[in-house]
Amino acid sequence: MIKLGAHMSTSKGFDRVPKETVSIGGNAFQIFPHSPRMWRASLPKEEMSNSFKDEMKRESLDPFDSMVHSGYLINIASPNEEVWGKSVALLSLEMKITASLGLKYLNFHPGSHLGDGLEEGIARILKGIEIVLGENQENDVMLLLENVAAKGNHIGSSFEELKSIIDGTVQPERIGITYDTCHGFDSGFEIRNKEGISRLIDKIDSTVGYEKLKMIHLNDSKFPLGAGKDRHEMIGEGHIGKNDGFREFLSNERIQEKPWLLETPGDDEDHASEIEYIKRLLG
């Protein structure tokens, strides 16, 4: 069965998400653990955590098919010690929040070295991950590195960079990746035809290993191949999806092994329409 859903709001409470996911035709979702543009966060009350897990069971949603996305302020590659320290502390707390909800994956962007150099940035990422995992030994949450668009000083636009992070960690078995179709397209990965899709899968296989891919962020792109802009568009309305450009990608058996999560513009109604369109593409 295809696992498909969208980023969902938690403004009415975590425990509303499972039912709202099913209402838009989904069976998977992504959520923020707190307001993504703030440093402040706290563990949900036990009553809320239990209610959320009860709703997951009631709606027959598998916790391995959904995930939590870290806040936007986190940058564990930052050379600024204050920002780095706050980022590590918040990422660690987000991991505990993820565990309290019974979910298994916490997705985050590797970060930006801000001009300090790739090697130095990766070293800080590895130091941060070591602390975060050390503070979360009591849970089984996995950290997912998300590929980013190739622009500026951001780390993680290539699978080689993601591999160097995974290989350098003290617990590589607790690190996986999320593949974002918009970010990948912006970085030059063609997925509108079988040849491009095969090259992408081969690249993942030969670097991090396909078993490390746990989630796919399914996003169209406002800009053409290799633009390096990172601007998401609704499925079917961007440079990937026009003329049913996602059909080959979504029909690939290995791609279908992974959950697909929309991070496209719009609200639940828009996402419901996109999910319906995706299902039509697949026949």
Catalytic residue among 34, 69, 113, 124: 69
Please write the tens of the pLDDT for every residue from 250-264. Answer: 999 999 999 999 999
Secondary-structure breakdown of the chain: helix, strand, coil percentages, each rounded to the nearest 5: 40, 15, 45
b/e map 54-87, b = 16+ CB within 10 Å: ebbeebebeeebbbbbbbeebbbbbbeeebbebb
Average pLDDT, the chain: 98
Q: Supply 153's token pair.
A: 């000083």
Query: Per-domain residue ranges for the chain?
Result: 4-281
Examine the residue annotation and report whether 210 is marked as an active-site residue of this protein: no
What is the pairing mode between strands 260-262 and 4-7? parallel
Options 59, 263, 268, 270, the catalytic residue: 263
pLDDT of residue 283: 86
Query: Which pLDDT value is given to residue 162?
Result: 99
CATH entry 1.10.3720.10 includes domain 4-281? no
Given 15, 55, 161, 230, the catalytic residue: 230
Ramachandran region of residue 37, left (φ > 0), alpha (ψ -120 to 50) or beta? alpha
Can you give the pLDDT at residue 64? 99
232 noted as active-site residue = yes
Query: Quick check: is 7 catalytic?
Result: no
Asked about 34 being catalytic, the answer comes back as no
Q: Is 230 among the catalytic positions?
A: yes
Annotated catalytic residue within 54, 58, 62, 72: 72
Average pLDDT over residues 202-207: 98
Higher pLDDT, 228 or 155: 155
Q: Catalytic annotation on 160?
A: no
- Four-residue CA torsion sign, 102, 32, 139, 4: positive
Catalytic residue among 124, 174, 232, 239: 232
Q: Which of 65, 94, 161, 180 is catalytic?
A: 180
What is each CA distance from 13 to 9, 36, 37, 84, 140, in whole angstroms? 8, 15, 18, 29, 23
Spot the catalytic one: 34, 183, 239, 271. 183
| Percentage of the chain exceeding pLDDT 90 | 98
- At residue 258, the pLDDT reads 99
Average pLDDT value for residue range 213-226: 98
pLDDT digits (tens, 9 = 90+) for 100-120: 999 999 999 999 999 999 999
Are the C-beta atoms of residues 2 and 260 closer than 8 Å to each other? yes
Q: Is the predicted pLDDT of residue 242 greater than 90, yes or no?
A: yes
Annotation says 239 is catalytic: no
pLDDT band at 90 (very low <50, low <70, confident <90, very high): very high
Give residue-wise pLDDT tens across range 13-46: 999 999 999 999 999 999 999 999 999 999 999 9
The predicted pLDDT at position 151 comes to: 87
Q: Which two tokens stand for residue 248?
A: 């080959």
